[in-house]
Structures are given as structure tokens and as C-alpha cells.
Amino acid sequence: MLVGPLNRKAFSVQIEVRIITRDYELGLRLFDTRRFPSRYPKAVPGEAVVSSQSLTENEESMEWTEIIDLVVDFDENCSVEMFANWLYGKLTVKPDDVYSLTIAGTTVEFDEAEIAHAVEEGLKR
């Protein structure tokens, strides 16, 4: 479900997520849309809201890669575990094409529990 600017809830904590990938469809899968970056935030399982901040082609790499920057809004009703499950599911469609995942400034292994732990630590900051 996309969240329009008028019906978006006020959230208390934002977590930054950075994904470096060669999977050019990942951004489209994250937002279930035909265009990325999306101009509308998306409500995801766990009641978090994901917004695309930027999509950059990584020219420093030997091969073509994208850097996807997201901001995830959490409030006290959000389920970190459900969000971690959602993100893990999106990343593991083509796991060999995702090179790096950073959550709240911490590089994270591609493991659902590690993703949840990184989000929880980011929420404490």
C-alpha cells in the first residue's frame, strides 16, 4: 500500500538503510511498482513506512551496481521482526546480486535475525 502525503502517520524514529546491488529490479520489488525511486512512501509488513531517498549508479565498481538509499519510519506499534522478514524476503530473491546492506550505519549480514537486531539497535540511538 502506498501512503500519500495527506494520510501519512506521524512517526517517531527513522532508520536509514543502504543497499548496494547489481539487481536492477530490487528497487521495483521493494515498492511493488514499475518506477523506482518511488515518490510515495510505502507501508510494509510490520506497519513501518519505507521511503526511497536516492538511487545512484556506483561508478567506482568494476561492474555496474546501484546504491539504493531508503528511510524507514517506525513508531511504537511497528513490528521490527515483520519488517526484517519483509526486507530479508526482498533481498534474497537474488541473493548473489546484493553486495552490501547497511542499517543505521552498521553493515549487516544477510540474515533475518541480524537485520532485526540492527534495526533494534538503530531504534535505541
What local confidence, expressed as pLDDT, does residue 7 receive? 43
Query: Is there a contact between 104 and 122 (Cβ–Cβ < 8 Å)?
Result: yes
**pLDDT mean values, one per 10 residues, the chain (125 residues):** 44 86 87 76 87 71 81 89 95 92 95 96 89
Look at the block and give the residue holding cell 530490487. 26
Q: What domains does the chain contain, in order, with CATH numbers?
A: 13-124 (3.30.70)
Burial class of residue 121 (count of CB atoms within 10 Å of its CB; 0-12, 13-18, 19+): middle
What local confidence, expressed as pLDDT, does residue 4 receive? 44
pTM, two decimal places = 0.82
Distance CA 27, CA 90 (A): 9
